Structure formats: structure tokens, C-alpha cells
């Protein structure tokens, strides 16, 4: 089998343009204008998109709202036609796009299943043979024979998902559809999702949950402002998406990719007993491990930046919605995060050791500097806070004009999700020089075998009970 035979999807030079009119009047004027004058401006939802997807791969597509994700999926599913470029898909395609797409609200769910199955290329007998399975999976009771305009959004998606999976497509396209419905139905959908992966189906999966891409996918793809930024390792793409989210775009060191880029075969995440979604391998260092050569080089560049102005907004983890207060006697002008020789990662594995460096410029003499850090969740709850005074660490007195760099090494035994870092510099425990609330934002990712705000070191064993000892007396619990 040659390389072309292994491809499920080929997207070449795809672009999509829309005409945007300031008003309906302008639209009518352009349509009727005898001189063919233009009264619109052009908006390119997609520009020159090129990539290929191998059969059996699950591709997680990430991007901010308006990045072109849904438009791209609609073109691949043949719902939209591109303005330029071509798309070739091998095999039957089932698409779960925006809620209710392809359904007639005046038809019952049963009638819509027949309609959609016919569109997918199934015969009426094939559809009827699968109807009982579709009805059982959707599990909406008597509403299956009621007009879909009477259905809730969750019922809509149940019917849509059940229909899509039972037409047995070679390519399944999902546009945020699995976020609709209750937890039990979502679990059932993901179980079926994994069964599709096991059967070697090709899946395109759009999500805003960057933790889902390394967990469920073996390829990641990032779109931004209608252009393909990069495609490759799902963990790297989740990290890149975090950078885009944090800074609202791409940092100067991250150029956009171009050209047709075939996906390199990469095995799906390894499964472990009791964890069907697998785990992402990672390197975790010790809190006392020596600093590597790469780490030293990253730190050297940080230390050699001689600019005595606020450099924090240039960091890819910077949160532009930070709040700042203090007496101004000293200010935090720069910071650096290093994890596993990565500088300023936006996505980090739970349990990883991270070095946090803070560069402080002193405007007044401070005899007993105190530097502290606080970790909060997205609701502003303080999960952990510490400072050098509590740790009984005595810092060297600082003089006006001094620039000092301080380091905290932290093992991030926090839960999966979004976290914020708040550094603070003080001259006493009550006199704050500079506190930057929610200065940095990062995302922690791990296997979902626990929940909550922290990851504890947990051990488990089963205790056997011997109700009769050798003497016939009750025996205590025996581990």
C-alpha cells in the first residue's frame, strides 16, 4: 500500500471567503448596481490551508473562536464549498456539526434518522435494521416519535450522535458536539468514540478543551485567524494553543507553518489498566536535581536581559487581566518558568517540577526583602501560598537601583485544569511593594483518574479479614 492509499483526508490550498455587507440595503444595492460596484468588504475565514490525515488517526483541532475550525470541518464534510482549493476524503463521512445541522425540526427523530441515513448513502432497509440500536443509544423515550422542534438541545445531540455512529462511517467529524448532554451520556459517547478508534476509524475532533487533545488524539492541529499555525504532536499543539490563548496570538518566535505537511505516524496514547484514555509520557525531575545545560542557557538569556522596564507582558504565559498593587518601593519586572528544559510552557504535566524565577527592581532600600508566591484556580481560590518569611529564609538587604533574581522550585501537585500564579515582593509581612495577582496562567494536564484541586500521593491496598485465628479467637485485621 503506497502513501496515498493510507490517506483518509487531503486538504490542499483551501480558502474560504465571505462577503460582509454593512447593511441589507448595501447588499441589495450591490446586487442591482448597473455598474457592478462593490458595497462589501471581504472576510477570509480560511486562507491556504494544507494538511493530510492518515487513516485511523484522531486529529484534535484547537483554535480560538473565529479561527475557522467550524468552517474547515463544514468544507471537509461537503456542507460548504471552498472559495479555492480542493478536499479529498476517502470513505463515508458522518459529521456532528452545529446543533441540529441536517435535521428538519418538523420531522420526528425517527424520520430524521431515515433522512440522514439516506443522505449518508444507506438503503432504507439498512436504516431500518439499525433503527432500534439508534433509538436505544439516543434514549429519549417517547420523544423519538415527536417533532424535533419539541426536543431539548440535549435530545437533539443524542439523536444526532446516535445517527452518526450507526451509519458506520470511515471518517467521523465532531465539532464540540460531545459537550452537550448530561455526564452519563457524555461518558457513553466517549466510550463509543474510543471504540471507533479501536476499529481504525479516522476522527476529526474540534474542542476548546486542550487537555482532551493529548488524552484522546494522536495528532494535534492549531488554527488561528483562518490560518494553519502548526500540526503534529498533540501535547505540543496543546501547549501552542495555550500560548495563543494567553497572548491572543502568536509570539514572534513562532512562525506560521505553510505547505502540504503529511502527518507522521504516531501511536495513540498508551493504555493502562483501568484508564482507557491512556497517559502522556513526561519527564519529571527531582526538587533537588541539578540544573541541566539547557536550563542554564535559558536562565542565562533571562539574566542577561538588561532592560529595567516591565517585561512580563512579553511572556507567553502572561495574563493581561492581572491586577497589581503595592507601595512601589520595588517592582517585579520580569519572570521565567522552566519545566523539563522548556521555557515558559503554557501546558504542564501534573506533578512536574517547575522553577519560577522573578526579577525584581528596587527603587528604595529594603533591609529585609520578602518574596512570596501564591497559586489560585480560575475562581480565585487560593490553593497554596508561601513566602520567604514563613520559610525562615533571610534575604540579602537590597539597595535602591539593585536588580535581584529569586527562584522557587515547586512540584505542581495540583489538579488538572487552569491555574494562576501570583508573585509578591514585600519589605515587611504587611508592607507590600509589588503584588501581581494572576500574573501568569498555565494549564495542568494528566490522566483523569482523580478529581479536585490537588493531586495527593495516594496508596491503596485491600485488607483481608481472618475471623478465626489459630486458637479459635477472633483475629485482628491482617494487611
Q: What is the pLDDT of residues 407-452, one digit of tens each?
A: 999 999 998 888 999 999 999 888 999 999 999 999 888 765 667 7
| pLDDT (0 to 100) of residue 276 | 33
C-beta separation of 354 from 410 below 8 A: yes
Class of domain 4-91+170-247: alpha beta
Above pLDDT 90, what percent of the chain?
39
pLDDT per residue as tens digits for the range 180-212:
555 556 666 777 888 888 889 999 988 877 777
CATH topology of domain 293-445: Coagulation Factor XIII; Chain A, domain 1 (2.70.50)
| pLDDT (0 to 100) of residue 319 | 87
* Gap between the Cα atoms of 347 and 235, Å rounded: 8
C-beta separation of 91 from 169 below 8 A: yes
* Gap between the Cα atoms of 155 and 98, Å rounded: 14
Phi, psi of 160 (to 5 degrees): -65, -45
* Gap between the Cα atoms of 387 and 393, Å rounded: 9
Same fold, 4-91+170-247 and 293-445: no
| pLDDT (0 to 100) of residue 271 | 36
Helix (H) or strand (E) holding 110: helix 109-119
C-beta separation of 333 from 312 below 8 A: yes
* Gap between the Cα atoms of 367 and 227, Å rounded: 53
**Burial letters 264-303, b for 16+ CB under 10 A, else e:** eeeebbeeeeeeebbbbeeeebeeeeeeeeebeebbeebe
For the chain, the distance separating the N- and C-terminal CA atoms, rounded to the nearest angstrom, is 56
Furthest-apart CA pair in the chain: how many Å?
109
C-beta separation of 124 from 118 below 8 A: yes
Give me the residue spans of the domains in the chain: 4-91+170-247, 293-445
For the chain, percent helix, then strand, then coil, each to nearest 5?
25, 30, 45
Amino acid at each position: 500500500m503506497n502513501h496515498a492509499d493510507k490517506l483518509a483526508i487531503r486538504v490542499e490550498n483551501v480558502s474560504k471567503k465571505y462577503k460582509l455587507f454593512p447593511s441589507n440595503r448595501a447588499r441589495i444595492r450591490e446586487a442591482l448596481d448597473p455598474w457592478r460596484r462593490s458595497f462589501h468588504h471581504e472576510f477570509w475565514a480560511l486562507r491556504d490551508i494544507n494538511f493530510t490525515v492518515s487513516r485511523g488517526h484522531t486529529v484534535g483541532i484547537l483554535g480560538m473562536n473565529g479561527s475557522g475550525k467550524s468552517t474547515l470541518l463544514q468544507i471537509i464534510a461537503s456542507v460548504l464549498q471552498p472559495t479555492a482549493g480542493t478536499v479529498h476524503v476517502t470513505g463515508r463521512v458522518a459529521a456532528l456539526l452545529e446543533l441540529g445541522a441536517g435535521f428538519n425540526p418538523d420531522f420526528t427523530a425517527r424520520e430524521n434518522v431515515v433522512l440522514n441515513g439516506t443522505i449518508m448513502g444507506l438503503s432504507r432497509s439498512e436504516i431500518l435494521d439499525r433503527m432500534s440500536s439508534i433509538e436505544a443509544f439516543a434514549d429519549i423515550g417517547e420523544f423519538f416519535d415527536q417533532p424535533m422542534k419539541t426536543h431539548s438541545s440535549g435530545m437533539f445531540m443524542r439523536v444526532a450522535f446516535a445517527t452518526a455512529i450507526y451509519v458506520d462511517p470511515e471518517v467521523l467529524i465532531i465539532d464540540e458536539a460531545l459537550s452537550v448532554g448530561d455526564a452519563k451520556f457524555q461518558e457513553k459517547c466517549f466510550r463509543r468514540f474510543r471504540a471507533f478508534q479501536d476499529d481504525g476509524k479516522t476522527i476529526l475532533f474540534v474542542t476548546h478543551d486542550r487537555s482532551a487533545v493529548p488524552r484522546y488524539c494522536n495528532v494535534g492541529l492549531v488554527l488561528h485567524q483562518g490560518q494553519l499555525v502548526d500540526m503534529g504532536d498533540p501535547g505540543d499543539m496543546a501547549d501552542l494553543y495555550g500560548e495563543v490563548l494567553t497572548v491572543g496570538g502568536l509570539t514572534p518566535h513562532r512562525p506560521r507553518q505553510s505547505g502540504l505537511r503529511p502527518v507522521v505516524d504516531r501511536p495513540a496514547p498508551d493504555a493502562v489498566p483501568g484508564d482507557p484514555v491512556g497517559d502522556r509520557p513526561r519527564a519529571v525531575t527531582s526538587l533537588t536535581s541539578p540544573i541541566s545545560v539547557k536550563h542554564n542557557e535559558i536562565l542565562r538569556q533571562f539574566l542577561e536581559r538588561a532592560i529595567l522596564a516591565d517585561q512580563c507582558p512579553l511572556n507567553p504565559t502572561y495574563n493581561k487581566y492581572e491586577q497589581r498593587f503595592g507601595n512601589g518601593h520595588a517592582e517585579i519586572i520580569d519572570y521565567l518558568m522552566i519545566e523539563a528544559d522548556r521555557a515558559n510552557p503554557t501546558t504542564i504535566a501534573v506533578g512536574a517540577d517547575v522553577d519560577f524565577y522573578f526579577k525584581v527592581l528596587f527603587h528604595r532600600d529594603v533591609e529585609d526583602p520578602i518574596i512570596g508566591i501564591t497559586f489560585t484556580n480560575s475562581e480565585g481560590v487560593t490553593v497554596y501560598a508561601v513566602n520567604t518569611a514563613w520559610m525562615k529564609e533571610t534575604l540579602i538587604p537590597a539597595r535602591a537601583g539593585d536588580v535581584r533574581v529569586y527562584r522557587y522550585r515547586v512540584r505542581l501537585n495540583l489538579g488538572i485544569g487552569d491555574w494562576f500564579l501570583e508573585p509578591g515582593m514585600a519589605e515587611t509581612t504587611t508592607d507590600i511593594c509589588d503584588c501581581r495577582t494572576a500574573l501568569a496562567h498555565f494549564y495542568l494536564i494528566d490522566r483523569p483518574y482523580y478529581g479536585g484541586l490537588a493531586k495527593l500521593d495516594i496508596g491503596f491496598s485491600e485488607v483481608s479479614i481472618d475471623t478465626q485465628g489459630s486458637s479459635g479467637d477472633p483475629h485482628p485485621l491482617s494487611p
